[in-house]
Chains A and B, each alone.
Chain A
Amino acid sequence: MSGLFGTLGVMARSLQTQQQAIATTGHNISNANNPAYARQRVAIQASLPTPSPIGMMGTGVEATAVVQIRNYLVDGQVQAETSALGYWEAQQQALEYAQASLGQSLNRTSAAGGADQPGLAAGLTELFNAFQSLSTNPTSTAERQVLLMKAANLATQFNQITQRLDGLWGTLNSTVSAGVTDANRLITDVAGLNEQIAALEMRTGGVANDLRDLRQQKVEELAKFTKIDTAQQPNGAVNVTIGGVLMVSDQHVLDTLDGYDAGGGQILLRAANAGTALPATSGSLAATIEVRDGTLATLSTQISELASRLITTVNQIHTTGFSLTGTTGAAFFTGTDSRTIGINSALLDDPARIQASGTSGAVGDNQVALALAQLAQQSHASLGNQTFSQRYHQSVATLGQALATANGRLADEQVVHDMLARQRASISGVSVEEEMTNLTTYQRAFEASARVMTVVDGLLETLINIKR
């Protein structure tokens, strides 16, 4: 079929093809700011030629498919790095909270030993300094009152830090629960999209580009929570495995995540149906669990141990002493750990009852006050052969080290993730300039095709007019 009418048909197909290309360009430009979107192209090819006496005659162009420009290798890498990024982001966030809860900072503008030094470090030193002051003036009510004030300050600091750390523990626990809920919603979403994609691609024979974009986005969101393994299926579905447990197979949700109470109130992960524990290795859920049960738990224990050791050693010495009024046997601190530490209210009511003297009837004696002051320089086996201050400083440094590591690793991970994101944007991202150029090309082709039609139309008119 050739001739002028044939040419008209060829040009009509050309117009249609250019229109499809223009529509796809429009679709690309519309989605230029959609981060999940991969640019699309209309694949065109020359339509089947027809035989003629002079050889094969071209029959113009036809659009064969709308293809998505995506690199699955980069997608896989982004997915893996998203888990790592999520892990370090969650670590950093949780540890920053822990650092804030501890409230230890340096303030060099205040004088050394000044009352405005922040944190427990100054509180500990000030307590022992107050014992020192009392030892130089054991009968002074003023020194006794200062001592009680410093001790009460320290006890309050211990209480507050513990409260904040306990609060953080609770927050991290509920973060895990909330994360599990979000991850399960994403698992259901992926299965639902698998179903839609498989159905659509089966029916139309094409590729459901935009649904695949959406599914990739969901998979990456899921990867942020925990490390996942994905497998492409021949029907277009993606199977999702978490920790060796198949969660999504085609359109079916086989299993979900379950946050269960591991006994001490701490939420851990397992597969809801299979019942197997999921040792989270990457992703924000793993990081939150690790900080909660690792750094934070250690820090809480260390602070608590420090307080209980302080209570027992101070009380042990203080109970042997004699007060200004001759009483003996009273404890200095009450409570057993950092949550409950407080000052014996009898002493607060009457500072004269602080038992600074080592000898009954000798109010000017300072043996007990001096022994208490000297506790500051003593190392204790239960504190790893360190003094109270050193032990606390070590806890601070350990937390700081964990956070510094998280900061460093997060920065590294950010660089890797950014590079991969750039690589993907470079392949799949929409370039407005490119689309505009293409648009112009398609527009010109459309105009040219129309022009050919006008010429053919003119030729046909000429033909018809021959008969007049």
Chain B
Amino acid sequence: MRVTANMFPDSLVRQLNRLNARQSRLQVEAATGQRIQFPEDNPSAMRRVLDLQAESQTLAQYRTNISRLTDQTAATYSSVRAVRNVSDRAGEIATLADGTRSAQELNIYATEVSQLIQQAVQLMNSQSQGDYLFSGTKSDTPPFALTLDANGNVASVTYQGNTSVTAAEIAANVKLSVQALGANTTGTGSRGVITDSRAGADFFQHLINLQNNLLAGDTTAIADTTRGQLAADEQNLITHIARLGSLTARLEAGAAVALDRTTSLEKLISREADADLSETLVRLSETQTAYKAALQSGATILNLSLLDYLR
């Protein structure tokens, strides 16, 4: 082929441009660690990475959900646990208050029971982040309202919440509710901690019964009825504690699954989008060598001319 005056510089410029473009691309790859930056780099991989990233972000959200539910479970658990201590003490009093006790002793027990009821109401009215834990979805209303009589004894405790619970997603389309209701007498849905028609529990009413029986000195009624009622209440509380324990385990398992999945997604994303740094650097230095060689040889050849030798 006949090589003319402009062919050589033209092709040198083209080669340098190509090498420059390649160099700049590899440099960006090395600097960002990414093989794909823009959709044009690899459209199908870009789409997969965007899908995977969306999934990964959703999983991160599920993990946030799980950690919030775990907090809520812990708060509920500590309240129920404390109520169970109240229940234990009430059971003790019901056992101690037999026919051998004097009226004065029974009166002192009655005062203690009255205090226990108030303590339990206070525990059941506890809040987490401004929301009442046990009023169902009426979380702006304290679940239990206490009325005292003229003597400072508990006259009644009424449930002011509703029987709906909230559920949140812990995985795609897996909804979980950790909320415990204060009372549920409908026979369906989430069970009540204090009052539940299915378990025969009505803790506050039974405590009030105990208090009233103690005041009246009716140890027979306590032995015959109240003790049994309180045992049912205790059983109900234990069921709740067990449920909260298993919920915590389930949430932990859910978090572990989400974390596992996040890790494997990260691997998939990395495989699609990340540059193999050693390969990139090797190729970059290759390109740099070629660029240097092109510059050097080009400069030498461009300087040579027949004109230097013609006189």
Contact = CB atoms under 8 A, between A and B. Distances in A.
Nearest to B50: A393
A327 B69 CA distance: 28
Interface of B: 1-7, 10-11, 14, 32-34, 36-44, 46-47, 49-51, 53-54, 56-58, 60-62, 64-65, 68-69, 129-132, 135-140, 162, 164, 166-169, 172-173, 175, 262, 266, 269, 273-274, 305-307, 310
A139 interface: yes
A184 interface: no
Contacts of B61: 113, 128-129, 132-133
B46 A359 contact: no
A125 B62 CA distance: 12
A106 interface: yes
Contacts of B131: 137, 139, 364
Nearest to A399: B39
B138 A137 contact: no
A384 to B, nearest CB: 14
B306 to A, nearest CB: 5
B3 A426 contact: yes
Interface string A103-146: 01110110011000100011011101100110111111000000
Nearest to B34: A108
26 contacts: A96-B40, A105-B38, A106-B34, A106-B46, A108-B273, A108-B274, A113-B56, A121-B54, A125-B54, A137-B68, A139-B139, A364-B135, A364-B166, A367-B166, A370-B168, A376-B58, A392-B50, A397-B47, A401-B44, A404-B40, A404-B43, A430-B6, A432-B306, A432-B307, A434-B4, A437-B306
Given A109-B32, A357-B137, A374-B173, A426 B2 contact: yes
A394 B44 CA distance: 9
A394 B58 contact: no
B39 A429 contact: no
Contacts, number: 217
Contact of A113 (B7, B37, B38, B60): B60
Nearest to A423: B1
A429 B164 contact: no
A112 B2 contact: no
Nearest to B66: A136
Nearest to A121: B50
Given A139-B131, A364-B131, A393 B5 contact: no
Interface of A: 32-33, 35, 95-96, 99, 102, 104-106, 108-109, 112-113, 117, 121-122, 124-126, 128-129, 132-133, 135-140, 357, 359, 361-367, 370, 373-374, 376-377, 389-390, 392-394, 396-401, 403-404, 407, 418, 421-422, 425-427, 429-434, 436-437, 440
A362 B132 CA distance: 12
Contact of A106 (B2, B49, B307): B49
B266 to A, nearest CB: 7
B65 A393 contact: no
Given A137-B68, A363-B140, A400-B40, A113 B57 contact: yes
A122 B56 CA distance: 11
Nearest to B170: A136
A390 B2 contact: no
The residue in A96, A102, A121 that gathers the most chain B C-beta atoms within 10 A of its C-beta is A121
A426 B11 CA distance: 12
